[in-house]
Amino acid sequence: MDFTLDDTQREIAGLAADVLRREVDLARPAGPLGYDEQVWRALGKAGLLSLALPPELGGAGLGIAEVAVLLTELGRAAAPVPALTLALGVLPLELLGTPDQRAALLPEVATGDALVTAALHEPSSPLVTEPATRAVAEDGAWTLTGTKTGVPFAAAATRILVPAAMPGGTGVFLVDPAAPGVTVAGGSVRLERVSVEEAGLLRDREPGEAIATLRRLAVAGAVALGDGVLAGALTLTKEHVARREQFGRPLAAFQAVAQQIADVYIASRTVHLAAQSAVWRLASGLDPQPDLEVAGYWLAEEGPKALAVCQHLHGGLGVDITYPLHRYYALGKELSQFLGGAQDRLGELVR
């Protein structure tokens, strides 16, 4: 087990950090799609959105380990981009999509001109494995009915990966959010007799493979992104308490401040280790459990607490919209909610 980044991964991290330093503008508001399209397209132009694509589609032919490195850098900068869609759309399509599905969607995703996301939550059921959404065979196609919640960037998506119960198990369907019967409101997606052709069903080489793979990639992507969020917030806070003085001394010189920043460091390093272990096992073709659930639980339980400490140590500066800390806090909270919260993660770990 060796978590040291190889040369390719170091180059990805360095390139991503360089692009983000140049392109992220805290004063620029999010675009109509809910994210900074200029930054996202810059990442695409640098080849970072096509890391997992096969060479025949213009990609680098890399995998989850390299995408996780990119996600961590996006989290470290709290970049206002749809980072999680790399784990919810690009990776599942590359692993489970048919050649036609991949050729139709992935090239535009790689340039930043299209988004693919996934609908993994249902009311009161985060990261659902047995969805209430139903798929019924009718007239040579599938008809989907159900409600999904907490779908990242649903309004901006070109396609949404939708798990649905079908005869013999659970299938994952590519749904066009503009199709008749689809209603998108914020992060909620309602499906009312939505027709999806057989060609819109992801491959399921054995029962339950598609939903299990999608779920693993979603959690891995979230913890890799969260790893960067905590690391970035920790760096920002360390620099602040080292510079800011009170009673003629830097805040960092006070024992209570040092203890609090140490707690943030412990939370950050634990998420980092758990995320790396889970991603390494996924990339090596090994069972990522229970490492994946440990990382998800720790991020959902300790991540928001650590970010709250960072806010506390910044005082009023932490909520200033011209200062980046509020981005880290908001993104960390979103990731905890995406994972279903600490109690759900703990229950999954127990199971």
Model pLDDT for residues 318-327, shown as the tens digit of each residue: 788 888 999 9
* Cα 344 from Cα 296, distance rounded (Å): 10
* Cα 53 from Cα 280, distance rounded (Å): 19
Q: Locate tokens 């409101």: which residue?
A: 185
Assigned CATH class of 7-115 = mainly alpha
pTM score of the predicted model:
0.95
Task: Kindly report, residue by residue over 170-214, the tens digit of the pLDDT.
Answer: 999 999 999 999 999 989 999 999 999 999 999 887 878 999 999
**Cβ atoms of residues 90 and 223 within 8 Å:** no
CATH code of domain 134-200: 2.40.110.10
State the pLDDT at residue 250: 86
Task: Kindly report, residue by residue over 13-30, the tens digit of the pLDDT.
Answer: 999 999 999 999 987 888
- List Cβ neighbours of 21 (8 Å cut-off, separation of 6 or more): 77
The domain limits of the chain are 7-115, 134-200, 209-350
How big is the chain, counted in residues?
351
CATH code of domain 209-350: 1.20.140.10
* Cα 340 from Cα 127, distance rounded (Å): 7
Question: In which band, very low, low, confident or very high, does the pLDDT at 1 lie, cut at 50, 70 and 90?
Answer: low
Q: How far is CA 69 from the centre of its chain?
A: 12
Question: What's the token pair of residue 336?
Answer: 């905890």
- Mean pLDDT value of segment 219-228: 98
Q: Mark residue 181 as left, alpha or beta (left: phi above 0; alpha: psi -120 to 50; beta: remaining).
A: left
State the pLDDT at residue 52: 95
Task: Kindly report, residue by residue over 295-304, the tens digit of the pLDDT.
Answer: 999 999 999 9
The C-alpha torsion from 239 through 240 and 244 to 246, rounded to 10°, is -110
- Mean pLDDT value of segment 117-142: 94
- Whether 257 shows a pLDDT value over 80: the answer reads yes
* Cα 48 from Cα 11, distance rounded (Å): 11
- Whether 2 shows a pLDDT value over 80: the answer reads no
